[in-house]
Each structure stands twice: as C-alpha cells, then as structure tokens.
Amino acid sequence: MQENKTALITGINGQDGSYLVEFLLKKGYKVWGTIKRNSVAENQTSRLDKVYPQLLGKLHYADLTDLGSLISIIQKCQPDEIYNLAAQSHVRISFDQPIYTAQATGVGTLNLLEAIRLTKPDAKVYQASSSEMFGNNIDKDGFQRETTPLSPVSPYGCAKVFSYNICNNYKNSYGMFISNGILFNHESPRRGTNFVTNKVVKGAVMIKKGLKKDLTLGNLNATRDWGHAKDYVKAMWLILQQNKPDNFVCSTGISHSVQDLVEYVFSKLNLDWTQYVKTDKKFLRPEELKDLKGDSTKLKNITDWKPEYTFETMLDEMIEYWLNKYK
C-alpha cells in the first residue's frame, strides 16, 4: 500500500483518468483531480461515479491553458506524483480546431511543467504521449518504438510532439522526474463515442436493437494497435515507480484494421456488417495515418508490465456494456 502518497491527475474525468483514479485509490493513494468545466454539468463526473465519495473536496476546475489554476491546485494538494492526462485528444477534431489543440495539448503541457517547477519540482511527472507522434514512420520490422523518428501527420500529433520534447527538455534542464508514456490506442466502455471503437460497438448494438439503420465510418483500411485502458493506466503507474525517468512505448504489439474491428463486433451480434456499414469522406482526415503497431519490449523488460486484455476480450466487454445499456 502507498498510504502516504498523493497523486494529482489532470483530466481525471476522462476515460484514462477514471480508470487511473480507481487503480490508485486501491493502492491507498490520496487522489486529487482537475476537471475542465463544460456546460452539461451531469456529464462532467459520470465516469467517476464509482469513486466520487472518495474524491469529495479533491476535484477542482482547472485548465491547462490557465497557468494560475494549475499553480493553485498543485500548491493545495502538494502531490508526490502528477499524471498529465488532460488534452484535446481527438485527432480528427484537431484538424477542425488546430490552434486550440496546439494551445491545450501542446502549450498546456508547458504551463503544467512551469507550475510544477515553481511549486513542486520534486514531484514525479507522467506525460501522456501518443503513438500519433510517429505519423507514418515505421521501423523496417513493421513496429514503432522509442527510437522511431517522430513525424506527425495531424495537429494533435504535432502538439503531442511539442509536449514530448518540452518534457525531455525540462527533465534535462532542471533535473525533474518526467517520464513520457507513448501510448498506442487504448479503449474501453468509457471511451468517447466519437472514437471509432466505441462508435462501432454502440452503433452495431443500436442496429441489433432496431434503434438505428446503418453506421457511417471513414477509412476502413487504417490499422491500429488497440489495447484496454485498464491495462494502460497500470503502465502509467509502473513508469513512475522506477528510480529514474525515461520514455516508454506502451502497446500490445498486434494491429488490426478498422474493418477487422467492424467484422468482429457485427459477427458477435450475428449481423452482416456489409448490410449496414457505409463510408463517407467527411470522416477521413486531410492527411491519413495508415498503420500503427508498437513494440513495448523496453516497458516489459524494465517494469514487468504485460496487458491482460486481448483485442477480442476488450471488444467483448464493450459489446456487453452497450447491450446492457439498451436492454
């Protein structure tokens, strides 16, 4: 048990934040979190329902673009560990809102690092980096790893590269403990329904229940390395338990196409996907990222991390969630 440790999670009410807070509370942490206000109040903490009583007084409105709010929360909770999970995290939307994405996902990280440097420089910091930073660069063996050159193909990926580099810069310049977790796609029933995995699962279940006639998607040929968010938040924690900061790829090492995803989900529901799935160019990105597949050998060797979910068991859990939702 880590009874005396305090953690601060930015973006605590997102998919990853909600699983991470559950994980840390079980380990005996005191957990604080930042939430960005939105106009639909009842949706702001819905992912935290299981643990909300344990977070009373510890959830604070803050924004990565507002340095003052970050200094205030860090001074208040004096965290031992800080997990920066807040961002504008939707790649397609980053093309519609490139400047905001750069400010929130890129410069926002710099704001947080400055707040930490000024108020709690001995805190261990985890930065949520992304496989989107690699763009279409792939090593000769078909994998992306810590040494693969970064060449992003979206405003989101560009903002994440800035965050990754500024974290390395602050670590080297100020001796701060800052580690990047380069996470590949990770999903769950708590994933936003504008992300393709949950969009497909929810859409297929609604079709099965007669609530929807068809499902419109973008590029069915793109391949991704999909894991479960529960496995990946454990990796975040393990990364901060090491004696020295470092950068780690976190992935399953197995890739599937969007069409593979569609075929599996529809077949589990005894539906012929070709009868229901349409494609529309409006869901394509101006520049497509074709293939992602990560090599997390370094993470596994140093931390003994290994994923418990497979692609199939992850999707099975998501299907069950939506079937129960639409009973």
DSSP string, 70-112: HHHHHHHH--SEEEE--S---HHHHHHSHHHHIIIIIIHHHHH
Q: For a pLDDT cut of 70, what percent of the chain falls above it? A: 96
C-alpha dihedral, 89 to 95 to 100 to 103, nearest 10°: 70
**Residue 11 above 90 pLDDT?**
yes
d(CA 249, CA 134) in angstroms, rounded, equals: 11
Residue 51 tokens read as: 């643990």
Domain check: are 150 and 90 in the same one? Answer: yes
Provide the annotated active-site residues: 130, 132, 156
Query: Does residue 41 carry a pLDDT above 70?
Result: no
pLDDT-derived band at 284, boundaries 50, 70, 90: confident
Residue 270 and residue 305 in one domain: no
Greatest alpha-carbon span in the chain: 58
Token pair for residue 175? 């001796």
Q: Where are the alpha helices (DSSP H) in the chain?
A: 15-26, 67-77, 91-96, 98-101, 108-119, 155-174, 196-208, 229-240, 258-268, 297-303, 311-325
232 and 264 part of one domain: no
Q: How far is CA 302 from the centre of its chain?
A: 22
**What is the model's pLDDT at position 290?**
79
| Res 27 pLDDT > 70 | yes
On average, the pLDDT of the chain sits at 94
Q: Determine what percent of the chain is predicted with pLDDT higher than 90.
A: 86
Q: Which domain holds residue 286?
A: 196-221+256-291+317-325
Higher pLDDT residue, 159 or 43? 159
The string of pLDDT tens digits covering residues 73-113 is 999 999 999 999 999 988 889 999 999 999 999 999 999 99
Per the structure, the count of domains in the chain is: 2
CA distance 57 to 318: 31
pLDDT in tens, 216-249: 999 999 999 999 999 999 999 999 999 999 999 9
**147 & 212 share domain:** no
Distance between CA atoms of residues 229 and 251, nearest Å: 11
Arithmetic mean of pLDDT, 312-325: 97
pLDDT value of residue 285: 72
Residues 286 and 298 in one domain: no
Whether the model pTM is above 0.75: yes
Does 168 lie in the same domain as 28? yes
Q: Looking at the domain assignment, is residue 1 inside a domain?
A: no
> How deeply is 56 buried, as exposed, middle or buried, from its count of CB atoms within 10 A (0-12, 13-18, 19+)?
exposed
